[in-house]
Structure 1
Amino acid sequence: MATSHENPTLTETLEARTIEHIPEDERHGSATQLFTIWFGSNIMLLTVATGVLATLVFGLPVWAAAIALIIGNLVGGVVMALHAAQGPQMGVPQMLQTRAQFGSYGSLLVVTIVVLMYTAFFASNMVLGGQALASLIGMGETPAILLVGVLGVLGAIFGYKVIHAMAGVISALAGVALLLSLVMLFVIKLPSDTFSVGSFSWAGFMSTLSLAALWQIAYAPYVSDYTRYMPKDTGVRAAFWATYSGCVLGSLLPMLLGAVLGAAFPKDDTIAAVRDGSGIFGVFVLAVFGISIAATNAMNLYCGALSTLTIGQTLWPTWRPKAAMRIIVCLGLFAISCVIGLLGKDNFLGNFSNLMLLLMCVLIPWTAVNLVDYYLLRHGDYDIDSLFESDGGIYGKLNVPAVGCYVLGILVQLPFLSNTLYTGPIAKAMNGVDISWIVGLAVICPVYYFWAKAARSSHVVLAADATV
């Protein structure tokens, strides 16, 4: 007779925990799962669309777009994967960990921004997936967009195990579709000027490089959400390399495909370009890339819900949200995403490009503070109980060095920003070249290290004087 473990019921499949600490006797999984979840979840239409921007919007030739995409993914992937080791060590969601650096109330601004980011990504994926589905089966665009959104909601509702399982299946299926589409680029007859159109510009090159780097860095606020159930002895190196290789390969290859398609089919939208560029496999590839969006959107909505619950638990420290509340929050964020997606679907590439470049400005100082604090100051040693205390425990309600560096990080980047919404004076002087994220990392990492170290030393001295 089969046991309930072999054939779990719907209730058993539904994740019971939300933002609380995961006890070590409930930990499971291996680093291999990290490769599949990041590899599979990145092979989708939105990743291809990012590559299309390089040649179609920024006007780069394919060779320059490829170099920029490679550098951006390799560099950004390092930042993203360094966060992966924090999950097994601490056993709590990534945004809840932020309380240890910013203080319980100091973390609210960052967590709120991240919720907005998840919601925008969900909406973007929903639009592209819905448009692909509509083109394949001939249904109306709006119903197709909503249907794709619902598939993502279901994964987020069931939670951690189901999302990992979805990503595992998608990883194999999307990997095959991606390989077929790349092979077909050498089989079909591309326009003769595909690899000669476009012109190199530093503004376009750095914008493409920044988009690729941010694609990776944008995962940093929730990478630990998918490692927090893993055994504490998973190891920093194993978690880093499995996450890094999965996310970089899963992102870079579709982006390179998109760069070629943008140059070859400049009059097509992303969906038509994927179909045309994949030749006889066009319908299959487009269907798989469209379906894979459901797994990625489940991740976006799941993490958005955890971050929203983190905000609520910060404001009401005695509240302990359960699975039912995660479901309610998922449905609420889904409704907001529907409004955003349906209103912005007609200018998708422009809206998406601006969103990504502006997110860079607000994510860079957070990731700098988080990584410096975790690896250089505290070496992964945190008091988990303090993260849930009403007064912030040993981390307090407001960590001035972290909040100060976050604000400083945004301010120092502003003169170097360059996008259609805003271009800073230094970026204008550099003919539109955007190096804001590089400046942000270069400034905030050392400033936070020395400021936080001095603040901790001062605190120790004051505590010692009080005991004398």
Structure 2
Amino acid sequence: MESGLAAPTVEVRTIDQIPENERHGRARDLFTIWFGSNIMVLTVVTGALSTTVYGLPLGWALLGILIGNLVGGIFMALHSAQGPQLGVPQMVQTRGQFGVYGSLLVVVLVIIMYAGYFASNLVLGGQSLHIVAPGVSVPLGIVIVGVVSVVATIFGYKLIHTYSKIMTVTAGLALLLAFCWILFVHGVPTDLFGRGTVSATGMLGTISAAALWQIAYAPYVSDYSRYMPKGTGSKPSFWATYGGCVLGSVLPMILGALTGAIVGGDDPVGGLAQLTPGISTVILIVLSLGVANTNAMNLYCGVLCVITVGQTLRRSWVPRAGGRAVVAVAVFAVALLLALAGKDNFLVVYQNFIALLLYVLTPWTAINLVDYYLVRHGEYDVMSFFRADGGVYGRFNGPAIIAYVVGIVVQVPFFSSDLYTGPVADLLGGVDVSWIVGLLITCPFYYLAAKRWSSRTQPLDPAAVPADATSNP
């Protein structure tokens, strides 16, 4: 992304590799896209879980939020370097681990994730607009926020980067204003840090929610770095992404925890409005604009995933800007139905949703990072990603698929949610450590399995691949 805020044009490319002559931008652009996109209502709500649903004292809640983001951010940011190196979307690169057809399961799960987060953001955006303008019903607010997101998705990569730069300044100032207003104008109760109860379940729940917030970005981190020059560098990409996403997440989550500790209840958005009388309209409008920004990112990457699935099943499909627009509207329609259906019981649905996401995303991120950094050291035959037979990676890559299944299965006894509580989690009093177990088992399991089968997965000489088999979609 070039410096400045030049008027963006409609992006032409979708899932094909970005040629070197179209690469642009610097690592610092990764800071603004991740900082600006995180300051929104859903981040505040996620932070509020710590003092409402999990009932922690504020001090412990802040510690849990910090630990979860710092740990989860490592996994999230490690994916960032893959974009400049390979120049393709994250889920296309996943074909290098799972095979061209084996990757479909993961891609479909990620599409569901995007739709779920998109719907969650729509609900909160609609609620925020309704609080600001009571004449705007929640369903109408949901539609308004969604339409803005669709427009940004249709324009694509450059507009989303530009939008995030603007939100870095405006949302950052709004966040600072909210903190100052609550602390120095509204005031806080004298027993603020004495409210709540410390529990292992609450602490690990808070840490897990914050860690998942970061890990959930992993399936599309490189989508927003794939236009950057190949020489951008792994370290600059990592630190710009890590700093932007962790800082941009921790601050609004702290605001949410503070709101939950003071107001309580199951409506953090309304609670925030109560704590910022006189400026709540400005705060909620800015945070709603942040929702539209983040939803544009979710929708954009969800669309790339849908295109990835479609192009896998039908090689002759060559989607460009028009195809992306059509798919964007279709995905929006599905997410809109989900948002309207779940708007009245949002916090419970959202809590269960992020728990399920953690179970399926943890083994994927472990496999992807181990493969990229330890097995292949960033060297992939990108042309094979677009071959009907998967090229050197094949249609199905056994080690990755087996490791993914194992990574999910080993977590089952540790599951702890309203939907299911495993026997080990029950013995631990409901403490959910499944994602930790998933990482600890999946990483070495996949590494050993991949090394054993390495002779089958060595990159081909691109010159040996027929030209008609390597053309990008």
Q: If the length of structure 2 is used for normalisation, what is the TM-score?
A: 0.94
Would the aligned equivalents of 1:37 and 1:168 in 2 still touch at CA under 8 Å? yes
- Out of 447, 456, 459, the residue aligned to residue 454 of structure 2 is 456
Q: Which runs of 4+ in 1 moved over 6 A?
A: none
1:259-298 aligned at under 5 Å gives the runs: 259-267=257-265, 269-298=267-296
1:162 aligns with 2:153: no
| Closer, same or farther: CA 41–413 of 1 in aligned 2, 3 Å | same
Q: Deviations over 1:152-200 (max 9, x none)?
A: 1110111000000111101100000011112223212223332211100
Output the aligned Cα RMSD: 1.3
Aligned to 1:178: 175
CA distance in 2, matches of 1:332, 1:459: 36
Which amino acid in the other structure matches residue 15 of structure 2? I
Quote the offset at 1:18 in angstroms. 0.4
Quote the offset at 1:268 in angstroms. 6.3
Which amino acid in the other structure matches residue 169 of structure 1? I
Would the aligned equivalents of 1:87 and 1:226 in 2 still touch at CA under 8 Å? yes
CA distance in 2, matches of 1:113, 1:193: 44
- Out of 360, 363, 367, the residue aligned to residue 362 of structure 1 is 360
Q: Deviations over 1:348-407 (max 9, x none)?
A: 111111100110000001000000000001000000110000000000000000000111
CA distance in 2, matches of 1:126, 1:19: 26
Aligned to 1:375: 373
Would the aligned equivalents of 1:44 and 1:254 in 2 still touch at CA under 8 Å? yes
- Out of 205, 209, 212, the residue aligned to residue 211 of structure 1 is 209
Quote the offset at 1:425 in angstroms. 0.5
CA distance in 2, matches of 1:457, 1:199: 54
| Paired positions, count | 452
Quote the offset at 1:210 in angstroms. 0.3
Quote the offset at 1:70 in angstroms. 0.4
1:193 aligns with 2:205: no
Would the aligned equivalents of 1:99 and 1:395 in 2 still touch at CA under 8 Å? yes
Aligned to 1:464: none
1:18 aligns with 2:14: yes
SS at match of 1:55: coil
CA distance in 2, matches of 1:227, 1:189: 42
SS at match of 2:123: helix
Quote the offset at 1:459 in angstroms. 7.1
CA distance in 1, matches of 2:423, 2:386: 43
Q: Deviations over 1:194-228 (max 9, x none)?
A: 22111001011101100000000000000000000
Aligned to 2:387: 389
| Closer, same or farther: CA 7–162 of 1 in aligned 2, 3 Å | closer
| Closer, same or farther: CA 7–90 of 1 in aligned 2, 3 Å | closer
Pick which of 133-142 and 37-46 moved more: 133-142
1:27 aligns with 2:23: yes
Aligned to 1:144: 141
Q: Deviations over 1:281-318 (max 9, x none)?
A: 32211111111111100000000000000001111223
Would the aligned equivalents of 1:318 and 1:390 in 2 still touch at CA under 8 Å? no
Which amino acid in the other structure matches residue 143 of structure 1? L
CA distance in 1, matches of 2:293, 2:109: 22
Aligned to 2:432: 434
CA distance in 2, matches of 1:36, 1:30: 11
1:97 aligns with 2:99: no
1:325 aligns with 2:323: yes
Would the aligned equivalents of 1:160 and 1:226 in 2 still touch at CA under 8 Å? yes
CA distance in 2, matches of 1:106, 1:386: 14
Aligned to 2:350: 352
SS at match of 1:54: coil
Aligned to 1:311: 309
CA distance in 2, matches of 1:246, 1:408: 33
In structure 1, stretches of 5+ residues that fail to align are 1-5, 461-468
Would the aligned equivalents of 1:180 and 1:278 in 2 still touch at CA under 8 Å? no
CA distance in 2, matches of 1:317, 1:406: 26
Aligned to 1:409: 407
| Closer, same or farther: CA 22–154 of 1 in aligned 2, 3 Å | same
Q: If the length of structure 1 is used for normalisation, what is the TM-score?
A: 0.95
1:84 aligns with 2:80: yes
CA distance in 1, matches of 2:371, 2:298: 25
1:113 aligns with 2:109: yes
Aligned to 1:62: 58
Q: Deviations over 1:242-292 (max 9, x none)?
A: 000000000001111111110100136121111222344322111111111
SS at match of 2:192: coil
Which amino acid in the other structure matches residue 447 of structure 2? Y
SS at match of 1:124: helix
CA distance in 1, matches of 2:11, 2:315: 22
1:127-142 aligned at under 5 Å gives the runs: 127-138=123-134, 139-142=136-139
CA distance in 2, matches of 1:406, 1:195: 42
Would the aligned equivalents of 1:177 and 1:285 in 2 still touch at CA under 8 Å? yes
CA distance in 2, matches of 1:254, 1:7: 28
Aligned to 2:335: 337
Pick which of 181-190 and 417-426 moved more: 181-190
Question: Identity over aligned residues, as a percent?
Answer: 54
Which amino acid in the other structure matches residue 238 of structure 2? F
CA distance in 2, matches of 1:302, 1:458: 34
SS at match of 2:193: coil
Which amino acid in the other structure matches residue 128 of structure 1? L
Aligned to 1:463: none
Aligned to 2:421: 423
